[in-house]
Amino acid sequence: MKLYKRKLHDPAPLGQADPYMMKASNGKYYIYATGPSGPQLYSSDSLMEGWEYRGCCLDMTGQKNCWAPCVVELGGKYYMYYSSMDEDDEDEHGQTMRVAVSDSPEGEFRLVKNLLPPFSIDSHAVVTPSGMYFFYCVNEYEAERVGTVVMCDKMTDPLTLEGNPVCVIRPTLDEEIYQRDRFKEGQHWHTIEGAFYFCVGNTHYLMYSGACHQNPTYFIGYSVAHGAPDADLRTLDWKKYPDDNTYSPLLSKNDFVEGMGHNSVIFDNGKCYIVYHGRDYGSEAFRNDSGIPEDTRSARIDEMKIDGDVLSVEPTR
C-alpha cells in the first residue's frame, strides 16, 4: 500500500524513490528518500498512516542529486549516509559517498566527511553484536558480468571505514542486466544495488535490487547466510535465494504496480514490514511546469513473512 499520497498544491515531490524507514527514539517514524535537491523527509506518529512531508533535511551547499539516504541513531546523534555529486559536476558517475550528522532525526543534517571516492552509491549502515558495518555499491569493470555490485566493510566508528571491503553480491543473471551494450558493443551492463541487511536468530538476510527500475525484470531479491549473530558480515557465505542461476524475485511488477525496488525493512509490534518504491502500473511520466519528467515511484509498505530462509510478500494497493 502507498504510504504518502500527494494532494493538490502539496509541495512534496511526486514520488519517494529509495525510501529508507526508521523509528527514532522519540517514537516517531521517518522516511528519507532520494531527491535532486536533497534528501526528502516524511514523518508520522503511526506506521501505516498520517505521513506528512517535512521537506529537505540536509544542508546541500556545494552538492546536488542526493541518492538513497540511510539514517542511523547512535549515542543521541543521527548519522545520514548518502551519495551526491559536487554542484559543478556533470558526470553522473561523480556520485560520492558522504556522511552528515544532526542532533535530530528531522535535521538539519550537515556534511562532515566524504567516506568513499566516486562512483559509490546506495549506503546501508547497520550495527550488529560484532560492530558496525557498511554496505554500499561500486562498479566492477573486469568481471564475467560487468556492472554494479554490493560491497561490505566494517566501520571503526560512525565516520570511519576500516578499509577492508569485500564484495558480497554480484550479478549472475540476464534478468539483472541494466542496459545492453551500455559502454561498449557486446558487453551488457548489470546492476545489483540498494542493499539492506537484517538478522533473525542465526539467519542473516541481505536484500538488494536488480536491473534498472524502468526494465520489466527489475526486482527485489535477497541473499541468505548462516552464522552466529556476532559474525563478521564480510566473512559469511552469502548465497542468493534460491540460487545464483534462478530468477525468483521477492517483488517484481504485477498488474497494478511496477518498478518495485530499493527497499528497507522495519520490525514493528511483532511483525516485519518491507518498505519499497513502486509506480502505478502503466502510469505515464508526469512533467512539472518546466517540462521536466518527475519520478513517480512512491513509497509503499507491505507485511513480509519470514520462514527460515524463505521471505514472502503479498503486495497490496
DSSP label at 176? G
What dihedral do alpha carbons 277, 283, 288, 289 form, nearest 10°?
Answer: -170
**Between the CA of residue 134 and those of 48, 72, 166, what are the distances in Å?**
28, 11, 11
Q: How far apart are CA 124 and CA 30, in angstroms?
A: 16
- Please say whether the beta carbons of 2 and 257 come within 8 A: no
- Please say whether the beta carbons of 154 and 131 come within 8 A: yes
Q: Tell me if residue 193 is catalytic.
A: yes
What dihedral do alpha carbons 10, 15, 17, 22 form, nearest 10°?
Answer: 50
What dihedral do alpha carbons 144, 219, 33, 96 form, nearest 10°?
Answer: 0
The grid coordinates listed for 143 are 568481471
Q: Which of 153, 193, 258, 295 is catalytic?
A: 193
Q: Tell me if residue 295 is catalytic.
A: no
Grouping H, G, I as helix, E, B as strand and the rest as coil, residue 90 is coil
The grid coordinates listed for 216 are 520489466
Q: Which of 18, 153, 258, 295 is catalytic?
A: 18
Catalytic site residues? 18, 193
